[in-house]
Amino acid sequence: MKRFVQMFVLLLLLTSNRAQAQKYESYLTASELPDATHFLPPPPGPDSPAFKEDVAAYFFAKDNLRKGERGRRAAREATTNVDTMAKLFSGAFGRELSKETTPMTMHLLQRSIRTFRLSASAPKKAYMRTRPFVYYNEGTLVPEDEAHERGTGSYPSGHTVRGWGMALVLSALNPERQDTLLAAGYEWGQSRVIAGYHWQSDVEASRSLAAACFARLQTSAQFVKDIEAAREELGIFGVKEDHEDVDKPYLSREEVRNSLRLLPPPPEEGSIEFLMDKIAYWEYYRLRSTDTARVRQAIKDADMSDTVLLTFEDAFGLRITKETMPETYRLLRRSMECFGSSGCNEAKAFYKRTRPFVYFNTHTLTPDDEVWLKTNYSYPSGHTANYFGLAYILTELRPECREALQRRAREGGISRVIVGAHWASDVAAGQVVAASVFEYLKKNPQYQAQFFKAKAEVDALCR
C-alpha cells in the first residue's frame, strides 16, 4: 500500500510538471518570429570603431558602476526567472505583480518572455560571439553563472531581450507608467554590461530584436486575448488610483485588528512592571537637565505633522517632503493615521490610563499639548506606533537602512517618556500595535499600488 501511494504521488508530480511546461508555451514558433540574422548587422569586428566603443563601455562600467547600489542592482537583474523579473518590475509598474495577486498578468508575462527568449536563440548560435569576461579572462558580478555562460554566445543579449520585452508588454498594460517602465527596461539591459556578461552592442541589438518581436506578437490572436484578460484583471484590482481617497487613511478602524485583543492590560499599581515604569519616568525626567540636545530632539519628536518625516532623513538617507518625494510622502501620510489613531484609540478609550505627568502632577516638555493629552489617554503610545509604522514602511523601501530606521523609531518612542507624556510600557505597546497594523496595511490594494510608486521613486533617487 505504501509503495502504491508513493507511485501515485510521483505520477501526480510528473503530470503537474508536464502541465506546467505546456502552460507557458511561446505565443509564436521560431519560424514565425523575426530572424535577427536577416535584419540585424553581425556583431562588430575586432578592428571596427563599434568594437572600440564596446571596449570603452565595458571598462567604464567595470571601473565606475560595479560598486555600490548600481552594481547590486545589476546582480539582481541577472535573473531569468519570470516571477522574480515581475517582482523587480513591480515598482515601475505601480503595483505588485505575482501569481497570487495578478495570475492572468503573470500568465501573459510567462508566455511573452518565453517568446522573446526564443527570438534570440538563432542569432546567438549563428554568431557565437565571445563574452567580455571571457575575452579578458576576468570575473563578473555574478560568478555563479560564469561556468554556464562561458560557452554561450554574447550577441544578442538574451537577458536584455527579456527585460526590454517585459517593459514593452507592461507598458501596453499600463500606458500611464510607460516612461518609468521603459526606463526600467533600458537599465535592465545596461545591467548586463555592468555585470560583465555583454558588450554594449549586444544590448543595443537586443532592444531592436525585442521591439521586432513585440510587433510580431500583435498578430497572435492568443496574445491579444491574453493581454485583454490581463487588462481586465488589473482594472479589477485597481491599478488606477482613486483620486477621491488620496487623503484618507488606507485602513478604517474596523479593518485594523482590535488592540484590546492584541495587548495585555497596562501594568497595575503595585506591580513590578509599574514600578519599572516609575523608575524609567524619573530617570528620563532627570535627563531633561543634563542632555539638552536629546531634550530638543524629544520635543521635535512630539510633532506629528510633516516634521516627523524629516526626523527620518539621516536614517533613510533621503529627505522626504511633498515636493521632493511626492509618491513616498503620500504613502506615509495616508499610512500614519492607521498606526497612531485607528490602531491605538480603542485600547486608549477602554483602559483610560493616566499619563505620567498627570499621575505625578508635573509638567511635560510640550506644555501647549497638555490640555489635549489629559483627555487622550496614555496606553498605548500613538506617537510610538507612528514612529515604528513609518520605520517598517521605510525599511521595505530601503532594506539596507533597516538598523538606522529601527534605531530612529526607538528614539522616537523613548522621546515620549522623556517629554513626560507616556510610560515606558506605553511605548512598548505602541510598537506591538505598529507591527500588527503593518501586516494589515500590506494587504490593502491601494497601499500596494502606492507603495510600488514610492519604491520606483526611491530607486530612481538612489541610482
Q: Which residues are catalytic?
A: 159, 192, 198, 202
C-beta separation of 335 from 250 below 8 A? yes
C-beta separation of 357 from 281 below 8 A? no
**CA–CA separation, 319 and 201 (whole Å):** 38
Residue with grid cell 541610482, as numbered in its chain = 463
CA-based R_g, the chain, Å: 28
How many separate helices (H) and strands (E) can be counted in the chain?
Answer: 25, 0
DSSP-assigned letters across all residues of 19-40: HHHHHT--SS-TTTS--HHHHS
Name the H helices within 28-141. Answer: 36-39, 49-64, 68-76, 82-93, 103-127, 132-135
**CA–CA separation, 100 and 96 (whole Å):** 10
In single-letter form, the type of residue at position 223 comes to: F
Output the CA torsion sign for 231, 235, 241, 243: positive
**CA–CA separation, 264 and 22 (whole Å):** 53
Q: How many CB atoms lie within 10 A of CB 124?
A: 19
DSSP-assigned letters across all residues of 348-406: HHHH-PPPHHHHTT---S-GGGHHHHHHS--SS-HHHHHHHHHHHHHHHH-GGGHHHHH
* Omega before residue 156 within 30° of 0, cis: yes
Residue with grid cell 548600481, as numbered in its chain = 70
Name the H helices within 156-312. Answer: 158-173, 178-195, 200-217, 221-237, 259-262, 272-287, 292-301, 307-310
Q: Is 355 helix (H, G, I), strand (E, B) or coil?
A: coil
| Main-chain dihedrals φ then ψ at residue 87, nearest 5 degrees | -60, -40
| Main-chain dihedrals φ then ψ at residue 436, nearest 5 degrees | -70, -50
